[in-house]
Amino acid sequence: MGCKPNNYIKLAALRLDLALHCLICCFTLGYNKLNNYITAPYVERYSGEVECMETSKFFLFINRLNSILFLLALLLVTGSILFLINETQNRPHKSLEIEAPAGDEIAKEKLKLSNVHYVSGHEIQYLFARSTKYGRLASGGYSYTDRNVLFLDRKGDKPVWLFESNDNVIISMRQLSVAIDEKERKAKYIYYVVASSDTNNDGSISDDDNVSISISQPDGSAFNKLVDNVSRVISYDYLSTGNVLALLIQVDRQVLYREYELESGVKKVEKVVIKL
């Protein structure tokens, strides 16, 4: 596996430089218009004579209208710059080539690393390895699919991949946490919903396929699949007092309520809620 730099940083710098030039021009024009607005009552005309602008309310109105329009343009440019900076920071900046095992076509896709996320109450951070095929539409106008998760400590050491290959699709990843005090929480487990095969035969792996529900320790270790072949995850709830994960799921034509004891991964309760 090797990392290849891309041109996102250079492109962002070029766009920021252009936006700053536009901002300076707008400030200059806005200042001139504002100055004209303040000195509007007395304007020099023709051969040095000074006439009061009150004699021409029409020109006074036009001058003030222009000042307002330039102010709106200035606000628009400022907002555009802030949006550009935000989108640039939120885009993944690194790409990596996957050395796929023989016959693993999905894993040969070029993946991109996401921004850094943190595990609550631990010195652990993680990044998603994302494919640009299929997937969810992001705010920047591009789509992605989460294929894997890279865990590491706060210093960037001890990197550990959640999966050995990149042929899974991570539909959901949530931290199951408990309250330490009024402001802080600490993750006890991480909860995953993962699609691993094209069960509906539409040519892609997505949340339209059957999924599995799994948990791991906060650092990604001890990955444990609790249930497989789930048609739909309706809801989940972490009952921290009993260290239990409560699930409301659809399996085939049945809606089931299940409880799993997370320390052992054993199913404790199962009830048929309704048959469809």
Last residue of a domain, one of 35, 64, 90: 90
Is-contact 146 172, C-beta < 8 A? no
Q: Report the alpha-carbon distance of residue 188 to residue 178 in Å, rounded.
A: 7
Residues 148, 74 share a domain? no
Residues 81, 19 share a domain? yes
198 contacts: CB under 8 Å, gap ≥ 6 = 204, 205, 209
Last residue of a domain, one of 57, 90, 123: 90
Long-range contacts of 30-37 (CB under 8 A, 24+ apart): 30/67, 30/70, 30/71, 30/73, 30/74, 33/63, 33/66, 33/67, 33/70, 34/67, 36/63, 36/67, 37/63, 37/64, 37/67
- Percentage of the chain exceeding pLDDT 90: 44
Last residue of a domain, one of 32, 65, 90: 90
Residues 119, 80 share a domain? no
Total count of domains within the chain: 2
Provide the residue type at 124 as one letter: I
pLDDT tens column, 124-152: 999 999 987 655 544 445 578 899 999 99
Residues 56, 104 share a domain? no
Residues 55, 125 share a domain? no
pLDDT tens column, 162-187: 999 898 999 999 999 999 888 899 99
Q: Report the alpha-carbon distance of residue 129 to residue 131 in Å, rounded.
A: 7
Residues 106, 85 share a domain? no
- Range of the structural domain that residue 262 is part of: 98-275
